[in-house]
Amino acid sequence: MTTVVVPPLPQKEASKPAKGGLFVLFWLIALALWIVAPHIADPLWGAYAIDSGIVFASIGFAALQITSAVALRNTLLLGFLFLGLFALGDFLEITVLSFFLRMFVPFVALLSALYAGLGKVKVWYS
């Protein structure tokens, strides 16, 4: 049996100032949404503002641990997907979807930190 090994494509490294700027910007957006949300008259829009803050804070947290520009792009695309799913759950009042995403989105952000930390651990076998 023949095994074909394809070398991985070289990936462009995400710059630290871009990751730090993204962290600060997205946390500022999240804090602004959380401050403004209680003052929104429509409860559906208020819930969506709070949930959007969760997404922005999670992306900001995950941005610090991301190593490649491709992974950063994929994280931003996943964040936009989560914003759409939150809109679907909040405006159509699908409570199960909204509550699931409120737990799942920060969990995925925490996993990015965990995997980044575990990727630096060296394990030697004798």
Q: Which residue has the tokens 């074909």?
A: 4
The answer as to whether 2 is a domain residue is: no
Q: Rounded to an integer, what distance in angstroms lies between the CA atom of residue 25 and that of residue 116?
A: 21
Q: What is the pTM of this model?
A: 0.83
Q: Is residue 50 part of a domain?
A: yes
Tokens of 51: 């949930």
Q: How far apart are CA 105 and CA 99, in angstroms?
A: 10
122 in any annotated domain: no
Residue 5 within any structural domain of the chain: no
Structure tokens at 37: 């949300």
| Chain segment 3-41, per-residue pLDDT in tens | 777 776 677 777 888 889 999 999 999 999 999 999 999
Provide the domain limits for residue 104: 16-114
The answer as to whether 7 is a domain residue is no
Instruction: Reduce the DSSP state of residue 122 to 3 states and report it.
Output: coil
81 in any annotated domain: yes
Q: What is the dihedral of CA 46, 48, 49, 50, to 10 degrees?
A: 90
3-class state of residue 92 by DSSP: coil
Residue-wise pLDDT tens digits, 102-123: 999 999 888 887 777 666 666 6
- Enumerate residues 6+ apart whose C-beta is below 8 A from 48: 86, 87, 90, 91
Residue 26, domain member (yes or no): yes
Please give the tally of structural domains in the chain: 1
